[in-house]
Chain A
């Protein structure tokens, strides 16, 4: 797959060209493409003077980074403690059934990616689901249906 990589040098240029800028550069690339294209990682390594192996090691260590393209809507089911004891597991299963994928996967049409996250920090509204940047508090089984029905 080809990606429009013309933006990459500009993103790298936002920060000082030194190894300590690595995470911030990767964050911006991730934001732009919703994942880290391999070619962008090579350019980053070269510009910041970091071995490519280290760029990969950082990219795979942190949960925020993904080497695979994500769907248009990223559904994040929070499974933090408060959500867990208020039934997050059911919500996750309902999502998996509704989208016909497992957590961590993307639907074949590229519309949805399903993720589970440790805690989104909105514990008083448990159980919580996020679709892209939007929070859905006190999720019930019906909420799942509604969220997914939009596809």
Chain B
């Protein structure tokens, strides 16, 4: 069947909504990356198996939905029961029978499985009341956990393809660009460039062929929201691209998905086939005569290919070395044709803006930073997972209210945002508004949205060294300031972390950073020194402790620390002895153990193994 008019789309949806009403209960099993890793596939299978055998009024096997990421990954695997909005955490296969009996056939809540507040230990049964969800506004992530990613009917039922229908049937391309410009939608890939202006300049270039490209490369270590959207709500990306292609006049679209996300490729491919089948993609979309073919390109594992000019070269089958951008890609992009390149999250916002209007969108967020931003909140925070908040939300709210504070209630040290191009913010920044402009003013950036929380056991010199080592291996090597400059910066950072650094080294690094920023061609090099620059400006004391006192205050840098067992706390359980690979720990059962400092390689395995917190780091 093909949908060829607005009325047909409306009728089709009505049919789906009516059918859905017959389901009195729905079991939403999270199939996001976190839950899949902890066995959610077996759980959904078990639900299907048991429901097939049991007869419960109004509940068939169709009630089991394999949804995208519920986002509260810390508590995975997650199962939600609709419409009661009950959230079950850390579900096991053996819990399935009880859930069916009590919460699906009946209306009982199983208290053991719901979220418990870590401070008051109070049980919170429904997810809108869980603090992790309470302070969020989910636009780009709106459908994650609510629909089956591989079912276009589910997407249409919740209003999917409405934005595309409105744009194609009731608006001109100019109207669409106007609306996006007025909404002040800025690129969610991190650059923050206004999408409307990008689309307008692409349309203005005279050409017979234009392209729309979706950047699904997401190479930033510590970020995974684009992955969750592509895997859990692929149609929203397609719909956003249809609107963009219509606005700029493109008939071919490319989605560049990174190699590490095979499930995203599968789900996007399915989504393309389903949308083409219904006439919502492909030739003659919605009977309007407008056509768009979307192709998927798999990346091949190069961080630099997230950069626009490198990405386009890679789509065309070349080595992804960025080029100088004196001519923008909206003029000369893919195969030298005008190209609009946006990131996954940007496209996910587009259908909503078209449906609800620019004014609605600008009413959310902060001045000049309309809308929301999705983040992956990870690191030493209690509630790791994906979140989406209005721009302008403070870091404090994100880390302490949504994130539930730090693991083991350790002291907060900082938050790293923006990946290798971003920087580390300190405690004094906790009340800053999180938006494109504020973060940039304070030496960090939004980036693609990784937010890595750090406690007093994270060493900032080590973090800088870590990012530099990442960038050294990911630099494409085309221009010397990036290739050689980052290498030297890394070498100096190693020297400091090993206690061989001098204060002159810090000056050298600062000067070198300036040159790398000035002399590099693309964003990788231009922002490469940021992790160093932001840690040196916010945590200089920590660098000086390494240099002057040969001490790593966080107890991380191996050359400067020693492990010692506190005989008062050690109960002689021998866990550390069996964990130690180099046999550096000796002792008898029930007697305090001792570490032989000469043999110890400071790998930290004993600390991880000790259940009594008896091993101290100096």
A133 in complex: contacting residue of B262, B315, B476, CB < 8 Å: B262
B319 in complex: contacting residue of A20, A58, A117, A124, CB < 8 Å: A58
B609 in complex: contacting residue of A58, A82, A119, A141, CB < 8 Å: A141
A71 within 8 A of B: no
Given A90-B605, A124-B376, A124-B385, answer yes or no on A65-B224 (Cβ-Cβ < 8 Å).
no
Contact at A64–B259, with CB atoms within 8 Å? Answer: yes
Q: In the complex the two chains form, what is the Cα distance from A90 to B603 in whole Å?
A: 6
Chain A residues closer than 8 Å to B480, beta-carbon distance: none
Q: In the complex the two chains form, what is the Cα distance from A23 to B315 in whole Å?
A: 8
Chain B residues closer than 8 Å to A123, beta-carbon distance: 221-224, 376, 378, 384, 450, 452
Contact at B317–A58, with CB atoms within 8 Å? Answer: yes
B564 within 8 A of A: no
Chain B residues closer than 8 Å to A79, beta-carbon distance: 221
A19 within 8 A of B: yes
Given A80-B221, A86-B379, A118-B303, answer yes or no on A58-B605 (Cβ-Cβ < 8 Å).
no
Contact at A85–B458, with CB atoms within 8 Å? Answer: yes
Chain A residues closer than 8 Å to B74, beta-carbon distance: 124
B193 within 8 A of A: no
Q: In the complex the two chains form, what is the Cα distance from A93 to B224 in whole Å?
A: 26
Contact at A90–B604, with CB atoms within 8 Å? Answer: yes
Chain B residues closer than 8 Å to A20, beta-carbon distance: 315-317
A21 within 8 A of B: yes
Interface hits, B137-164 → A, CB 8 Å: none
Chain B residues closer than 8 Å to A64, beta-carbon distance: 259, 299-301
Contact at B300–A81, with CB atoms within 8 Å? Answer: no
A102 within 8 A of B: no
Contact at A27–B319, with CB atoms within 8 Å? Answer: no
A41 within 8 A of B: no
Chain A residues closer than 8 Å to B261, beta-carbon distance: 121
CB distance from B549 to the nearest CB of A (A): 23
Q: In the complex the two chains form, what is the Cα distance from A61 to B310 in whole Å?
A: 12
CB distance from B386 to the nearest CB of A (A): 8
Contact at B218–A85, with CB atoms within 8 Å? Answer: no
Contact at A81–B259, with CB atoms within 8 Å? Answer: no
Chain B residues closer than 8 Å to A63, beta-carbon distance: 259, 300-302
Contact at A135–B416, with CB atoms within 8 Å? Answer: no
Interface hits, B580-618 → A, CB 8 Å: 581, 603-605, 608-609
A81 in complex: contacting residue of B319, B452, B581, CB < 8 Å: B452
Chain B residues closer than 8 Å to A118, beta-carbon distance: 219, 221, 303, 470, 473-474
Question: Which of A23, A26, A90, A136: most chain B Cβ within 10 A?
Answer: A23
Interface size class of A (residues with CB under 8 A): 35 or more
Given A82-B452, A135-B33, answer yes or no on A61-B302 (Cβ-Cβ < 8 Å).
yes
B522 within 8 A of A: no
Q: In the complex the two chains form, what is the Cα distance from A136 to B298 in whole Å?
A: 24
Contact at B37–A125, with CB atoms within 8 Å? Answer: yes
A122 in complex: contacting residue of B224, B299, B316, B377, CB < 8 Å: B224
Given A121-B224, A140-B608, answer yes or no on A19-B378 (Cβ-Cβ < 8 Å).
no
Chain A residues closer than 8 Å to B259, beta-carbon distance: 27, 63-64
A87 in complex: contacting residue of B302, B474, B608, CB < 8 Å: B608
B260 within 8 A of A: yes
Given A87-B604, A87-B608, A141-B609, answer yes or no on A62-B300 (Cβ-Cβ < 8 Å).
yes
CB distance from A86 to the nearest CB of B (A): 7
Contact at A94–B581, with CB atoms within 8 Å? Answer: yes
Chain B residues closer than 8 Å to A87, beta-carbon distance: 604, 608
Q: In the complex the two chains form, what is the Cα distance from A133 to B263 in whole Å?
A: 10
Q: In the complex the two chains form, what is the Cα distance from A117 to B259 in whole Å?
A: 12
Q: In the complex the two chains form, what is the Cα distance from A118 to B376 in whole Å?
A: 16
A126 within 8 A of B: yes
Interface membership of chain A positions 93-133, coded 1 if the CB is closer than 8 angstroms to chain B and 0 otherwise: 11001000000000000000000011111111110100001
Contact at A120–B260, with CB atoms within 8 Å? Answer: yes
Q: In the complex the two chains form, what is the Cα distance from A70 to B314 in whole Å?
A: 25
Nearest first, the 4 closest Cβ-Cβ pairs linking A and B are A124-B73, A63-B301, A80-B221, A62-B300
Additional pairs, 15, CB under 8 Å, beyond known A27-B300, A87-B608: A23-B314, A62-B300, A63-B301, A65-B300, A81-B416, A81-B419, A81-B452, A83-B221, A94-B581, A97-B581, A119-B260, A123-B450, A124-B74, A124-B377, A133-B262
Q: What are 5 A-B pairs at a CB distance below 8 A?
A: A61-B320, A61-B476, A65-B300, A81-B416, A90-B605
